[in-house]
């Protein structure tokens, strides 16, 4: 027979074991939070000298810094002065170095005025610390028109301030600054009166879609840096500002590295930071983005012209980047005709005023995205943390922006599927998840694992299926999950820190649409 003192000791130790087990479980549940980076860990200021090996959920190339012949020339060696326009000197040196087998063309400290620069194979354009390249605001300094892609449509126009076509082993490096076109005819004549597919005659060959700005006609604005049809592209260290359009845009490229750049384009409409267009094997790391539109975006062509080209963006790794301002931290679309696939975004911080992880396409634009992976992301946002928008606005797509307008699935029906999101911290957002899918092709197969979230609203999901949220802690004054045409929505092992002890489900046929398992509530 056990006496009372022995029983007390046993009970006491049992209690201790239970407390320790609970504490160990809590530590185990939350230890992944220690791996989520902060703003001090990412961005251009944290750029290391070496490129760390890639560990992605898909195969890609081995990324390494490029090699160039030991040949270096400075534009001042050819008589360049800050008082003159130095386009001709820069271009002649690039051509000369390329013909000699390659090397480095150096822009030294100073303020240099130039028009479009055409980069050539085996040339590194090096912009030294204290150097500023100021690009012209006059259309004449970007002629003749060159082959390019603007908002997912192929045409002939101004191209980019630094442009390359069909080149191999090219680089733009240094700690200097690139400043986009000044005020002038270029900015005055940018096409803004309609969406591009209503303006460019898609039935004409690309060579006949020419926009040079003659007789005050409109042009399509140059990007700041845009290699097209290039292989082995390296961009490191430079700062970009005052663009007229998107900033860094590799198009139809293979093996691209963009690291340690800083981009400022606040207040510039369509001032995207880094847009990857129908390119493959891309690494973007340690970049700081303060933009007037999306900070990072993956694109693959628009509508019928994008389907004609039919080139995906694939095998892209984005890591250690800091989005300080912009409409989206990392965005898919909205031009996705060739499909975005095999994207891995990890160890990033999004402190922008827009959305965090953003997926957007439109009913008439085709394509979509699949096999998209996001891991270890910290966000502080004014808008939604995880945002899917496949409808857009009537301004751009007319009646197709209304989900109640029936549209049959076809070649231009976009989709999103097979999306994996893991280990995210949302310090603040207006909403955790919002999905505006399309009835003819619902968002499909999304897994969200381990999330710590503080948001004003929880879930609003329309036109989606097979979505799972598991092992999350969600804090919000909101107490409702809103569903419309949403099937197989699974909420597993989630703690709700909300004002009530019960989540309200706002959904037709809610018993078929959503299931909740191992749900608990924490006082708000």
Task: Write the pLDDT tens digit of every residue in 202-216.
Answer: 999 999 999 999 999
Task: Name the nearest CA neighbour of 256 among 168, 196, 331.
Answer: 168
pLDDT of residue 513: 83
The mean per-residue pLDDT over the stretch 464-487 comes to: 96
Q: In the Cβ-directed half-sphere of 347, how many Cα atoms lie within 13 Å?
A: 17
As a whole number of angstroms, the distance between CA 94 and CA 462 comes to 53
pLDDT at 3 exceeding the cut of 80: no
Task: Name the nearest CA neighbour of 291 among 319, 327, 333, 326.
Answer: 326
pLDDT of residue 23: 42
pLDDT at 307 exceeding the cut of 90: yes
Cα 202 → chain centroid? 27
As a whole number of angstroms, the distance between CA 120 and CA 125 comes to 10
pLDDT of residue 510: 58
pLDDT tens column, 309-333: 999 999 999 999 999 999 999 999 9
Alpha helices in 31-130 (DSSP H): 87-99
Q: Supply 454's token pair.
A: 């503080």
The set of residues, in sequence order, having a beta carbon less than 8 Å from that of 388 and lying 6+ positions away, is 359, 360, 416, 434, 435, 436, 437, 443, 464
Q: Supply 335's token pair.
A: 């031009």
Which single residue is written with the structure tokens 């390659």?
102
414: β partners: none
Q: How confident is the model at residue 24 (pLDDT cuts 50, 70, 90)?
A: very low
pLDDT of residue 5: 53
The mean per-residue pLDDT over the stretch 93-102 comes to: 98
pLDDT of residue 460: 96
As a whole number of angstroms, the distance between CA 373 and CA 384 comes to 18
pLDDT tens column, 414-462: 999 999 999 999 999 999 999 999 999 999 999 999 999 999 999 999 9
Cα 519 → chain centroid? 34
The mean per-residue pLDDT over the stretch 370-393 comes to: 96
pTM attached to this predicted model = 0.94
In order of start, what are the domains of the chain with their CATH numbers?
A: 39-523 (2.160.20.10)
Q: Supply 125's token pair.
A: 């354009």
pLDDT at 11 exceeding the cut of 60: no
As a whole number of angstroms, the distance between CA 245 and CA 110 comes to 25
The two beta strands, 504-506 and 520-523, are unpaired
As a whole number of angstroms, the distance between CA 209 and CA 373 comes to 37
As a whole number of angstroms, the distance between CA 500 and CA 502 comes to 6
The two beta strands, 231-236 and 153-157, are unpaired
The mean per-residue pLDDT over the stretch 51-72 comes to: 96
The mean per-residue pLDDT over the stretch 169-181 comes to: 98
The string over 210-244, giving b where at least 16 C-beta atoms fall within 10 Å of a residue's C-beta and e elsewhere, is: ebbbeeeeebbbbbbbbbbbbbbbbbbbbbbbbbb
Which single residue is written with the structure tokens 């040339």?
123
pLDDT of residue 10: 54
As a whole number of angstroms, the distance between CA 263 and CA 240 comes to 5
The mean per-residue pLDDT over the stretch 363-392 comes to: 96
Question: DSSP letter string over 465-491?
Answer: EEEEEEEEEEE-S--EEEEEEEEEEEE
């Amino acid at each position: 027979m056990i006496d009372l003192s022995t029983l007390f000791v046993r009970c006491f130790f049992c209690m201790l074991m239970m407390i320790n087990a609970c504490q160990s479980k809590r530590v185990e549940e939350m230890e992944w939070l220690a791996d989520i980076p902060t703003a001090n860990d990412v961005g251009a200021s944290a750029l290391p000298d070496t490129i760390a090996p890639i560990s992605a959920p898909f195969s890609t190339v081995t990324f390494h810094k490029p090699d160039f012949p030991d040949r270096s020339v400075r534009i001042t060696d050819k008589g360049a002065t800050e008082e003159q326009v130095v386009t001709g000197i820069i271009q002649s040196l690039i051509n000369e170095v390329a013909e000699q087998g390659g090397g480095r063309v150096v822009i030294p400290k100073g303020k240099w005025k130039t028009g479009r620069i055409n980069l050539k194979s085996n040339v590194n354009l090096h912009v030294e610390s204290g150097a500023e390249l100021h690009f012209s605001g006059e259309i004449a300094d970007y002629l003749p028109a060159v082959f390019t892609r603007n908002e997912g449509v192929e045409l002939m126009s101004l191209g980019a301030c630094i442009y390359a076509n069909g080149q191999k082993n090219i680089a733009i490096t240094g700690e200097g600054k690139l400043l986009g076109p000044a005020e002038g005819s270029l900015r005055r004549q940018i096409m803004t009166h309609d969406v591009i597919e209503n303006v460019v005659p898609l039935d004409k060959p690309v060579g006949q879609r020419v926009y040079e700005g003659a007789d005050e006609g409109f042009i399509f604005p140059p990007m700041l840096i845009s290699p097209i049809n290039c292989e082995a592209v390296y961009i490191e260290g430079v700062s970009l500002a005052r663009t007229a359009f998107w900033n860094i845009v590799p198009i139809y490229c293979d093996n691209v590295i963009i690291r340690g750049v800083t981009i400022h384009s606040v207040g510039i409409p369509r001032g995207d930071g880094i847009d990857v267009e129908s390119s493959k094997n891309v690494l973007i790391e340690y970049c700081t983005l303060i933009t007037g539109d999306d900070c990072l975006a993956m694109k693959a062509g628009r509508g019928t012209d994008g389907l004609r080209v039919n080139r995906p963006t694939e095998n892209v790794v984005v890591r250690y980047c800091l989005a300080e301002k912009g409409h989206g931290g990392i965005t898919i679309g909205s031009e996705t005709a060739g499909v975005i696939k095999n994207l891995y975004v990890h160890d990033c911080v999004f402190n922008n005023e827009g959305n965090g992880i953003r997926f957007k396409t439109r009913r008439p634009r085709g394509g979509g995205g699949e096999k998209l992976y996001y891991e270890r992301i910290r966000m502080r946002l004014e808008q939604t943390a995880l945002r899917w928008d496949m409808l857009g606005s009537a301004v751009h797509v007319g009646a197709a922006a209304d989900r109640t307008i029936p549209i049959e699935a076809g070649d231009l029906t976009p989709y999103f599927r097979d999306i994996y999101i893991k280990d995210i911290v949302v310090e603040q957002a207006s909403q955790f998840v919002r999905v505006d899918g399309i009835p003819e092709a619902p968002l499909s197969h999304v897994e969200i694992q381990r999330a710590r979230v503080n948001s004003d609203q929880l879930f609003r999901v329309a036109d989606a299926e097979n979505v799972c949220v598991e092992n999350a802690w969600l804090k919000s004054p909101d107490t409702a999950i809103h569903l419309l045409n949403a099937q197989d929505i699974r909420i597993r092992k989630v703690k709700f820190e909300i004002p009530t002890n019960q989540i309200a489900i706002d959904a037709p046929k809610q018993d078929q649409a959503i299931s909740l398992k191992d749900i608990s509530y924490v006082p708000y």
